[in-house]
Amino acid sequence: MKAYERLLKYVVIRTPSNEDSSTVPSSQCQFDLARILETEMKELGLKDVHLDSHCYLYGTLPATEGYEDKPAIGFIAHMDTVSDFCSHDITPIVTENYNGEALELGQSGRILDPAVFPHLAGMKGRTLITTDGTTILGADDKAGAAEILTLIERVQAEQIPHGKLCVAFTPDEEIGSGAEHLDIEKLGADYAYTVDGGTEGEIQYENFNACKACFDIKGFSVHPGSSKDTMINASLVAMEINQLLPGCETPRGTEGYEGFYHLMSMSGDCAAANLCYIVRDHDRNLFEARKQTLRLIEKNLNEKWGEGTVTLTITDQYQNMAEIIDGCMHLIDNAKAACEAVGIPPLVIPIRGGTDGCQLSFRGLPCPNLGTGGYAFHGPYEHITAEAMEQCVDMMTELVKRYA
């Protein structure tokens, strides 16, 4: 079976995770896909296939005889999708021999336009898979799941010698907890790759250092007619906080390795206000400097408006996994060589976000990220080509050969 054929089967199963849930998985619908994958894994001959109560699915392909001493390599994808644009049935549309021009997405009124997505021109002649414009597609990360199982099928069909291959499908990646309950010992891999990136050839091992920073502002509310030198308007203090941050260091104004402060939410009135930011930087020293800037704002405004007016709470979220991967760069070197061997230009770029591989790396399983061939994730313009998915499988097949 081709990877894109598996994708078309998987995406119609809605699996949005729920960030407001306290259960694991956060939504029971993720089991619907997990059970289908579980059956398929068994049909493909994977051993020790196990779906646990938290919706983590594991399986292994034992090493070819004589290759038991080779590194055990894991491939991981997540089953959940974002909840945005996912409120009703998903209808994928397959456009064969795509002409590289603007494409209407069903009857939605939305258009997949090369003026917005310039890479579309390079997809001319390919089989393009899109949504009908009313939902996400779900290639993030069902394309990764499809490519991993297609890899397993190909390795066996072509009798490619290999070390132990370890497969895991996880829930709740989109709400940041996908790796939290993954049993690394059960997975059994020495090293692993998440298959959850964008364009084919993408290789990622540098992610942001990340924290959440919230300011709680306590005002002093009195009648505005008699508030001279008395009132402290908490909402105005909140505005002052934001004005003290560098105006160009926002997501809109940054790219590549450049960090940012991103205002996620704000609320308030005269008596009380709240600002919540996420703070990101690839460089640990610059990241710590950003946090220090926030602490300095808290200090200065309390000196100006009175102690206790501003309270800052910083919550660290994740670290840059480059700190771990730097010690085993064969993971990146072999991925680059695998790309080149199958004619895909390797694209080693930083992740402007986080990844399950980050948490797994710091838990002892070095785990960079590979591209799936998809674009415009998390919205109704999501798209991927059948050819790109096959190229990703080609690349992973070469990767397996290199570790054998």
| Residues labelled as active-site residues | 80, 173
> What is the Cα gyration radius of the chain?
24
CB of 356 closer than 8 Å to CB of 197: no
- CA separation for the pair 72, 377 (Å, rounded): 30
Q: Residue 345 CB: number of other CB atoms within 10 A? A: 10
Residue 381 C-alpha from the chain's centroid: 17
**Backbone φ, ψ for residue 279 (5° rounding):** -120, 135
- CA separation for the pair 283, 286 (Å, rounded): 5
CB of 311 closer than 8 Å to CB of 275: no
Helical H segments across 213-283, by residue range: 234-243
- CA separation for the pair 37, 294 (Å, rounded): 46
Residue 94 C-alpha from the chain's centroid: 25
Q: Which amino acid, one-letter code, is at 65?
A: E
**Among the listed residues 354, 391, 17, the one whose alpha carbon sits nearest the alpha carbon of residue 210:** 354
